[in-house]
Structure 1
Amino acid sequence: MSDYAKVVVPGTPISKSNFKMVSKEGRFFLPKNTGSYSDRYDVYESTIALLARAQNPGIVFTDALIAVLKVFYKSEKRHPDTNNITKSIFDGIEKSGLIINDAQVTRLVIEEYYDKENPRFELELYKESQFNLDFTVYRRETPIEVKNYEPPANTKGKISNKLPAKKKAVEEDLKDKKRCEVCEKPLKNGNFISGNGGRTLICKDCFAKLR
């Protein structure tokens, strides 16, 4: 029985968080076969499943696994959040039957690269019973160029403008509301005990615990 498998899927990975869940009779599911853009995730998941099975015929992992995921994006500036794509990838791997449940992956390493001509992801799976994972973080002898990140395009200019106003509103709210000396929760009318000439206020829940 194999203790190692590798899956390579071409194209830029799709994040599951980009697709809305649809409610039907109290249940939620990802839309598919709708003829709309929403089908894209279901198609991608099926593509992963087909390639994973074709590249690893006869392999089925049932025990704990170490996973090393290398993602090669087409563009360094525009691509999905790497920490959001693992769900879609492992959903496809689980659908292939290569693994029983994505909870089998107990150790995961994700590495981000760039390949304009051949965007893809490469996933290597190792049986934890047969392999161990070791890594080292060390200071570079020669620092590389700093890579700065900016807020998403649809939030630029909004975050910085909203923060001062929001902070002021919170401060005003805290100033106007009387709070319990013990738990610091806002006090509702009549739901507190006062003492020390009205300078000490304790909610009835905390007062009951102190008695």
Structure 2
Amino acid sequence: MNKSYAKIMVKGSPITKSNFKLFNISGRAILPCNSGKYHDRYALYEEQIAYECRSQNPGTVISESLIAVLKVYYKSKKRHPDTSNITKSIFDGIEKSGLIINDAQIRKIIIEEFYDESNPRFELELFGESHYNLKYNIFENDIIEEEINYSSPPNRKKLYNNNKKIQTSREQSSNPRCQICGKILQANEIISADKGNTLICKNCFNKLFK
């Protein structure tokens, strides 16, 4: 068995870690894994990647530096995560499987984005640099292809400021309440989620994510 090569294919729409985080009052990111809620999806996806990785490459452990070729197949052209953010999610699961020692082993990476409505997935190939090298060419098309154009992303800073203004206005007009138990919240016990749109007390937070 070639210990300098591995291939992994995981079915399902790829997701990113950033979409499943909660934040406490100090701004620290929290990634739930056993709350029974929507935010558990990332932890489950990471486990799926680790399981498929081990099943498809039994007994393989690669410790050397690597070249990675990642092909991501989304269900939709219009609604999908940023491909640049996908790699962290995928390599977290690969590292967890034990196939590689550390995702810092990835020294060269090529990422390609495709679309497959009936079979979203990602396919990853890992090549040990002791056995493989990488060459690539960028060339002009003989026939001009149809452009894939993108619209400007929303102004996140503006949205953040608007959310802060709304939250401040609410706090000024009335005492904020926990959106689970309804308790009036003191400043030192507020935990926010969903970019500040959801406020819960520490007691409810502990019940959800302990």
Whether the TM-score (by the shorter chain) exceeds 0.5 is yes
**Distance (Å, rounded) in 2 between the aligned partners of 1:123 and 1:39:** 24
CA RMSD of aligned residues (A): 2.4
**Alignment size in residue pairs:** 157
1:131 aligns with 2:93: no
Q: Which residue of 2 aligns with 1:118?
A: 119
Partner of 2:37: 36
- CA deviation map 1:62-109 (0-9, x unaligned): 110000000011111111110011000000000000001000000000
Residue 16 of structure 1 and its aligned partner are, at CA, apart by 1.2
**After superposition, where does 1:59-138 map in structure 2 within 5 Å?**
59-138=60-139
Match of 1:183 in 2: none
Indicate conservation of the 8 Å contact 2:65/2:105, yes or no.
yes
Distance 1:21 1:130 in 2: 42
Contact 2:20-2:40 at 8 Å conserved across structures? no
| Cα 1:24/1:105, change in 2 over 3 Å | farther
Letter in 2 for 1:133: L
- Provide the C-alpha distance between the structure 1 equivalents of 2:51 and 2:26, rounded to a whole number of angstroms: 31
Q: Could you tell me which runs of 5 or more consecutive residues in structure 2 were left unpaired when the two chains were aligned.
A: 160-210
Q: Residues 190-205 of structure 1: matches in 2 within 5 Å?
A: none
Asked if 2 retains the 8 angstrom alpha-carbon contact of 1:13 and 1:121, the reply is yes
- Local SS of the residue matching 1:83: helix
Relative to 1, partners in 2 of residues 1:22 and 1:145: Cα closer, same or farther, differing over 3 Å?
same
| 1:145-160 matched pairs, under 5 angstroms | 145-152=146-153
Determine if contact 1:74/1:116 at 8 Å carries over to the other structure: yes
Q: Tell me, in whole angstroms, the C-alpha distance in 2 between the residues paired with 1:58 and 1:23.
A: 40
Query: Which structure has the larger Rg over C-alpha atoms?
Result: 1
TM-score, structure 1 as length reference: 0.69
Larger relative contact order, structure 1 or 2 (CA cutoff 8 Å, min sep 6) = 2
